[in-house]
């Protein structure tokens, strides 16, 4: 039941894709229905097979890359559309559009189906191993919903037309929306982080290349303004810009299409009729990209406020013994080997440090700070198969816990004895101070 | 050969070349970002080392230069046509809309009618030109010039930049031109962006004095002198139980502002000394005054053996270790940069500003709208184009055509309603 609820928005997105495809081609319903159904079933079966054979991370990163490639294609198409319209002085006669080839549309439906099916499987069981019955129900539901969407589509007003660019915008936005429900597939958060990294690198490189003096010589208020460029806000707003720009460009390309030439018509009424018809048709073509924009906004919302409940226990206060050690029993009130994240807080002489203990999937215990070496120390939460850095939203697979580098939590040396895990308190306090000092030096974290 | 020339023509003339080249670099950047933690520097390095990639970058300024020439040519042709100086054949590509109507022109009536709509007119023989607003051509020319400067600057900078790190030390020879660094001044002076000034005063062998400041960076023998960080060079004398003879030298320590740490090795002994500067409690800046206290930690291998502090002009001793700092000189870590792309990039930025400052008000408030009516062999050629306010202009153009169609009489025209279209 919960799985069905989890999958509902993703399946609805899939039915939206099928409806958009059939509206674009109009008249090849059976071919399209077969392509959609076979694509979706192939996606579900193939995705599950790969999830079973390999680690979940590989499949999710492949699906994520494919969705990202679709988004990149949307960018290229949007730029081309905008460029064509502005380059031709806004002339792009709607009547010149050709009917798409059945083969092209079938292939597109097949690919969209494959991707949507794989996204559904990743949502159903991110680590693989979904029961066959669930997969069968998922495949059947996907096929039925696609067929239903293709059937219902004919009741949508005929004025709402879907051009090639608008179709791509809608399909990609629905795929992004479907992906945003699964942490491992979400694209917006990594995009924001990449933008932040790019802006940081670009500003640094600009200063170097243009021989601009270092911050030592700068006015502090001027440097504060420059500092905004290194903040996470830039990543978020830059990410939003990149996220919405292709759909906005497609809307602009449609809106900027110049009115048809009516200079040769000498009857004013006929001229106005022709122009009014064109404007109405142009406005109707705007509906689908505008709808795609709303869906992309929903995907951003999902990414910012995921419905996933993170396991984030309140840190347990610990103290050191006379020999400066902290000893935490393996079993007791807290079972350190239950596979869950356990957080602890050490306070000593005005200093404090947060650390966490987690049993990795291979059974080894890991002890790390509740902070990484590059982000602000906002801590970690545990999701399915991974812990997430609250600051940069990077997912750290549980298998890599205890390893240093990147956004992984900073490991701390410890000993496992019969009575539990023992740690050196001063080492933890020193490592925490060192980490926090380093990351707070960089505005907005170091990513 | 013809095909090659046609291809080259497309490469140089097409509007698509610049966006496509930029798209190429964007895709390259995205591809690199998957595999490298430093995608921007990797992309720059690839552009520098692989000629085909540099050639793709070079396409942008070349394409922009050709487009600039075409823009100027188009501007000249349009001006000539509007002055009525050229034949009908030269109208191709100059206007967005051209209509042919049979009949004759009633130029005087048409002129009055267009003037009543606020157009300026010019009557020349059998042609009538009408226009309103200011052309955006200068903005387009500035824009293309900016693109040429910017991308040629980036290309030159990426492929030919040479940088060398040196330490400029008071009392020592200046690394480039022959001369000695007399003094390094570091002062508080509030400017538009900078809060402090730095000047490295150099006296040449001929006695001529020269000062190298912060920004704009001074040029010396074709290289920019780019001051980066500040440091000090104290004269340190170090004696250890296993080094009774001692060791004395000027250590170059990049430890300013206070809080930074730097280290120096005592060659052949395994000793390494870490230094930092004590943050002054008063308002006096240690770099400026030369009065400072150095904190130090002495390590032999990885093992700490002694730590303490020493004032410049003073000495520390304990457990057989002695560390004296008898004098200090100011140091500026400087990059000597030979880069011919810097000036074109700044020039590009200026051109971009000029283009924007021209384009924005003109496009919003005074967009250019033009009409041309020419009569030849009983056929009237009516041409129109607008850079903004297209709907209103198009309405007036259509109304004017109706007027011509009706024989240029009052019966054939009517007042335009506000919502003409």
Contacts of B327 (CB under 8 A, 6+ apart): B234, B235, B312, B313
In chain A, % of residues over pLDDT 70: 91
Judged against a pLDDT cut of 90, whether residue A307 lies above it is answered with no
B247 burial (CB, 10 Å; 0-12 / 13-18 / 19+) is middle
Question: What are the start-end ranges of the E strands in A319-413?
Answer: 325-328, 342-348, 351-359, 365-372, 380-383, 386-389, 395-397, 409-411
Least confident among A161-165, A188-192, B91-95:
B91-95
The helix (run of H) or strand (run of E) holding residue B91 is none
pLDDT at residue B410 tops 50: no
Interface contact flag, A210 B342, Cβ < 8 Å: yes
Neighbours of A423 (CB within 10 A): 23
Q: Inter-chain contact B30–A72, Cβ cutoff 8 Å?
A: yes
Cross-chain residue pair B196–A217, CB shorter than 8 Å:
yes
The more confident residue out of B8 and A232 is: B8
In 10 A of CB A391, how many CB atoms?
22
The percent of residues above 90 in pLDDT, for chain B, comes to 53
Please count the CA atoms within 13 angstroms of the CA of A198 that sit on its side-chain side. Answer: 18
Interface subset of B 43-72, CB within 8 angstroms of A? 44
- All residues of chain B having their beta carbon less than 8 Å from the beta carbon of residue A89 are 96
Q: Which of A34-43, B348-357, B380-389 has the highest mean pLDDT?
A: B348-357
Q: Is the pLDDT of residue B19 over 80?
A: yes
Tell me whether B25 touches chain A (CB under 8 Å).
no
The verdict on A264 touching B (C-beta cutoff 8 Å) is yes
CB contact under 8 A, A213 and B214: yes
Of A89, A211, A218, the CB nearest to B194: A218
B418: pLDDT strictly greater than 50: no
Instruction: Give me the pLDDT at residue B358, please.
Output: 97
Q: Which of A4-13, A61-70, B231-240 has the lowest mean pLDDT?
A: A4-13
Q: What is the pLDDT of residue A440?
A: 60
Task: Report the DSSP beta bridge partners of residue A395.
Answer: A388
Residue A313 confidence (pLDDT): 87
- Report pLDDT digits (tens) over A204-240: 899 999 999 988 888 888 888 888 887 778 888 999 9
Round to whole Å and give the CA distance between A373 and A237.
Answer: 25
The residues pairing with B385 across neighbouring beta strands, listed in sequence order, are: B370
Q: Are B91 and B99 in contact (CB under 8 A)?
A: no
Residues from chain A that touch B227, judged by Cβ atoms under 8 A, are 213
Span B296-319, average pLDDT: 89
A95 pLDDT band, cuts 50/70/90, is: very low
Query: Please, which pLDDT band fits residue A308 given cuts at 50, 70 and 90?
Result: low
Identify whether the C-beta of residue A445 lies closer than 8 Å to the C-beta of residue A438: no
User: Across all residues in chain A, what is the average pLDDT?
Assistant: 85
Return the minimum-mean-pLDDT range out of A431-445, B138-152, B380-394: A431-445
Query: Alpha-carbon distance B268 to A203, whole Å?
Result: 42
Residue A65 has pLDDT above 80, yes or no: yes
- Beta carbons of A209 and B215 less than 8 Å apart: no
> Which residues lie across from A371 on neighbouring strands?
none
Chain A interface includes B213 (CB < 8 A): no
Domains and CATH numbers, chain A: 2-193+236-304 (no CATH), 316-441 (2.102.10)
Is 60 exceeded by the pLDDT of residue B415?
no
pLDDT at residue A439 in the model: 64
Angle at B163 between CA B157 and CA B165, to 5 degrees: 155
Query: What are the phi and psi torsion angles at A172 (to 5°)?
Result: -65, -40
Of the pLDDT bands very low, low, confident and very high (cuts 50, 70, 90), residue A351 is confident
Q: In the prediction, which pLDDT does B303 show?
A: 82
- Minimal CA separation from B320 to chain A, in Å: 31
- A129, pLDDT greater than 90: no
Lowest mean pLDDT among A84-88, A207-211, B140-144, B223-227: A84-88
Q: How far is CA A20 from CA A169, A253, A334, in A?
A: 10, 20, 52
Using alpha carbons, list the distances in angstroms from residue A307 to A6, A64, A310, A349, B199.
10, 19, 9, 40, 58
CA distances from B331 to B278, B285, B290 (A): 18, 15, 11
Query: What is the per-residue pLDDT for B3?
Result: 83
* Burial classification of residue B105, based on how many CB atoms lie within 10 Å of its CB (0-12 exposed, 13-18 middle, 19 or more buried): buried
- A225 in contact with B at a CB cutoff of 8 Å? no
Whether the predicted pLDDT of A444 surpasses 50? no
In this predicted structure, the answer to whether residue A52 has a pLDDT above a threshold of 50 is yes
Distance CA B250, CA B331 (A): 11
DSSP class of residue A369 equals E
Quote the mean pLDDT of chain B.
88
Q: Which of A85, A216, A223, A405 to mutate to test the interface with B (most CBs of B within 10 A)?
A: A216
How high is the pLDDT of residue A445?
A: 41
* Cross-chain residue pair A194–B397, CB shorter than 8 Å: no
**pLDDT score at B419:** 45
Residue A447 has a pLDDT of: 37
Where are the domain boundaries for CATH 3.30.310.50 in chain B? 83-133+367-412
Mean pLDDT value of segment B4-33: 88
What pLDDT is stored for residue A3 in this prediction?
Answer: 66
pLDDT category of residue B133 using cuts at 50, 70 and 90: very high
* B165 and chain A in contact, CB less than 8 A: no
Between A247-251, B281-285, B387-391, the lowest mean confidence (pLDDT) is in B281-285
Q: Note the pLDDT of residue B404.
A: 81
Facing residue for B195 by CB, picked from A218, A259, A272: A218
The string of pLDDT tens digits covering residues B61-107 is 999 999 999 999 988 988 888 888 755 556 777 888 888 887 777 78
Residue in chain B lying closest to A86 (CA): B15
B421 to A272: CB separation less than 8 angstroms, yes or no: yes
The answer to whether B215 contacts A272, with C-beta atoms less than 8 Å apart, is no
Minimal Cα distance from B98: which residue of A? Answer: A263
- A98 phi and psi angles, rounded to 5 deg: -95, 155
**A-chain residues within 8 Å CB-CB of B30?**
72
Task: Say yes or no: domain B83-133+367-412 is CATH 3.30.310.50.
Answer: yes
State the pLDDT at residue B89: 55
In this prediction, residue B148 carries a pLDDT of 97
Question: Given an 8 Å threshold on Cβ–Cβ distance, is B40 in contact with A201?
Answer: yes
Q: How far apart, in whole angstroms, are the C-alpha atoms of residue A18 and residue A76?
A: 23
For residues B43-52, average pLDDT: 95
* Pick from A219, A263, A264: CB nearest B195: A219
Over residues A263-276, the mean pLDDT reads 84
Collapsed DSSP state (helix, strand, coil) of residue A414 = strand
Whether pLDDT at A408 is above 80: yes
- Do the Cβ atoms of B394 and A259 come within 8 Å? yes
Round to whole Å and give the CA distance between A89 and A84.
9
């Amino acid at each position: 039941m919960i799985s069905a609820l989890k999958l509902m928005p993703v399946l609805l997105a899939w039915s939206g894709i099928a409806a958009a495809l059939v509206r674009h081609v109009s008249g090849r319903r059976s071919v399209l229905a077969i392509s959609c159904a076979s694509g979706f079933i192939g996606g579900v079966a193939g995705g599950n097979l790969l999830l079973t054979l390999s680690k979940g991370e590989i499949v999710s990163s492949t699906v994520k890359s494919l969705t990202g490639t679709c988004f990149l294609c949307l960018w290229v198409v949007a730029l081309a559309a905008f460029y064509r319209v502005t380059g031709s002085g806004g002339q792009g006669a709607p009547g010149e559009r050709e009917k798409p080839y059945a083969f092209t549309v079938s292939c597109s439906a097949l690919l969209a189906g494959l991707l949507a099916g794989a996204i559904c499987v990743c949502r159903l069981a991110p680590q693989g191993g979904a029961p066959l019955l669930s997969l069968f129900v998922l495949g059947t539901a996907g096929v039925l919903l696609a067929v239903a969407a293709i059937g219902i589509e004919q009741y949508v007003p005929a004025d709402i037309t879907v051009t090639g660019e608008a179709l791509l915008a809608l399909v990609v936005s629905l795929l992004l929306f479907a992906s945003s429900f699964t942490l491992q597939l979400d694209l917006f958060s990594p995009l924001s982080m990449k933008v932040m990294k790019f802006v940081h690198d670009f500003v640094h490189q600009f200063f170097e290349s243009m021989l601009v003096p270092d911050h030592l010589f700068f006015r502090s208020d001027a440097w504060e303004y420059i500092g905004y460029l290194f903040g996470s806000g830039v990543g978020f707003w830059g990410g939003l810009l990149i996220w919405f720009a292709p759909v906005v460009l497609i809307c602009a390309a449609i809106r900027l299409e110049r009115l048809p030439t009516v200079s040769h018509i000498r009857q004013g009424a006929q001229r106005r009729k022709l122009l009014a018809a064109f404007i109405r048709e142009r406005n109707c073509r705007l509906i689908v990209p505008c709808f795609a924009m709303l869906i992309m906004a929903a995907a951003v919302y999902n990414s910012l406020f995921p419905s996933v409940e993170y396991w984030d226990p309140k840190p347990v206060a610990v103290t050191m013994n006379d020999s400066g050690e902290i000893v935490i029993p393996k079993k007791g009130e807290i079972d350190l080997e239950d596979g869950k994240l356990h957080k602890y807080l050490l306070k000593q002489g005005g200093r404090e440090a947060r650390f966490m203990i987690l049993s990795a999937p291979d059974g080894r215990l890991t002890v790390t700070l509740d902070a990484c070496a590059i982000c602000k120390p906002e801590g970690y939460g545990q999701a399915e198969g991974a812990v997430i850095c609250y600051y940069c939203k990077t997912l750290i697979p549980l298998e890599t816990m205890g390893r240093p580098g990147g956004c992984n939590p900073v490991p701390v040396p410890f000993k496992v004895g019969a009575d539990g895990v023992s740690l050196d308190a001063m080492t933890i306090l020193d490592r925490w101070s060192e980490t926090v000092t380093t990351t707070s030096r960089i505005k907005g974290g170091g990513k | 050969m013809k095909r090659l020339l046609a291809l080259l023509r497309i490469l140089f003339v097409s509007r698509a070349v610049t966006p496509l080249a930029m798209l190429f670099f964007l895709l390259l950047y995205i591809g690199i970002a998957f595999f490298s933690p430093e995608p921007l520097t990797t992309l720059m390095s690839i552009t520098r080392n692989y000629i085909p990639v540099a050639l793709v970058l070079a396409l942008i300024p070349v394409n922009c230069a050709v487009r600039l020439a075409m823009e100027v040519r188009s501007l000249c042709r349009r001006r000539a046509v509007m002055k009525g100086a050229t034949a009908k054949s030269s109208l191709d590509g100059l206007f967005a809309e051209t209509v042919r109507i049979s009949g004759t022109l009633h130029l005087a009536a048409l002129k009055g009618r267009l003037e009543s709509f606020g157009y300026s007119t010019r009557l020349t023989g059998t042609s009538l030109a009408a226009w309103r607003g200011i052309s955006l051509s200068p903005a387009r020319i500035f824009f293309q010039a900016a693109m040429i400067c910017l991308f040629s600057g980036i290309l030159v900078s990426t492929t030919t930049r040479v940088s060398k790190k040196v330490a400029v030390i008071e009392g020592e020879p200046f690394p480039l031109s022959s001369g000695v660094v007399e003094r390094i001044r570091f002062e508080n002076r509030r400017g538009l962006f900078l809060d402090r000034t730095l000047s490295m005063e150099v006296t040449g062998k001929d006695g001529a004095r020269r000062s190298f400041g912060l920004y704009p960076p001074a040029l010396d023998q074709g290289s920019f002198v780019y001051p980066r960080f500040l440091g000090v060079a104290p004269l340190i004398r170090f004696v250890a139980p296993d080094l009774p003879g001692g060791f004395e030298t000027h250590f170059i320590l990049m430890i300013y502002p206070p809080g930074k740490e730097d280290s120096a090795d005592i060659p052949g002994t395994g000793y390494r000394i870490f230094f930092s500067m004590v943050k002054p409690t008063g308002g006096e800046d240690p770099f400026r005054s030369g009065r400072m206290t150095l904190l130090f930690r002495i390590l032999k291998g990885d093992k700490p053996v002694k730590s303490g502090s020493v004032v410049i002009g003073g000495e520390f001793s304990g457990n057989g270790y002695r560390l004296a700092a008898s004098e200090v000189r100011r140091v500026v870590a400087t990059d000597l940069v030979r880069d011919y792309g810097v000036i074109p990039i700044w020039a590009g930025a200026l051109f971009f500003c000029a283009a924007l400052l021209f384009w924005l008000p003109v496009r919003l408030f005074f967009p250019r709208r033009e009409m041309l009516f020419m009569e030849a062999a009983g056929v009237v050629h009516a041409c129109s184009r607008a850079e903004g306010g297209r709907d209103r202009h198009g309405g007036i153009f259509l109304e004017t055509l109706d007027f011509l169609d009706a024989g240029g009489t009052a019966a054939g025209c009517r007042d335009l309603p506000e919502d003409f279209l």
